[in-house]
Structure 1
Amino acid sequence: MTMSGGPFRAIGIASTGVTVYRKWLDAVSDNISNLNNATTTAGEAFRERFVIAQAVDYGSGNGGVQVGGIELGSAEGRLVHEPDHPLADENGYVRYPDIDLGSQMSQLMMAQRGYQANLSVVDRAYDAYQAALQLGRNS
Structure 2
Amino acid sequence: MGTFDAIGIASTGLTVHRKWLDAVSDNLANANNATSTDGAAFQARYVVATSMDYGEPAGVQVAGIELGDAEGRLVHEPTHPLADEEGYVRYPDVDMASQMTQLIMAQRGYQASAAVVDRARESYQSALQIGRN
TM category (shorter chain) comes to over 0.9
Secondary structure of 1:105 counterpart: helix
Aligned equivalents of 2:26, 2:98: Cα separation in 1? 14
Q: CA deviation at 1:133?
A: 1.1
Amino acid at match of 1:65: V
Secondary structure of 2:33 counterpart: coil
CA RMSD of aligned residues (A): 1.2
Would the aligned equivalents of 2:8 and 2:57 in 1 still touch at CA under 8 Å?
no
5 Å matches for 1:15-26?
15-26=11-22
Aligned equivalents of 1:90, 1:67: Cα separation in 2? 43
Aligned equivalents of 1:12, 1:126: Cα separation in 2? 11
Of 75, 83, 106, 1:80 maps to 75
Of 38, 41, 44, 2:37 maps to 41
Amino acid at match of 2:111: Q
Aligned equivalents of 1:48, 1:61: Cα separation in 2? 33
For the pair 1:90 / 2:85, whether they are aligned, the reply is: yes
5 Å matches for 1:1-139?
4-6=1-3, 8-57=4-53, 62-138=57-133
5+ residue gaps, structure 2 = none
Q: CA deviation at 1:61?
A: 7.7
Q: CA deviation at 1:115?
A: 0.5
5+ residue gaps, structure 1 = none
Aligned equivalents of 2:56, 2:96: Cα separation in 1? 36
- The structure 1 segments of at least 4 consecutive aligned residues displaced by more than 6 Å after TM superposition are none
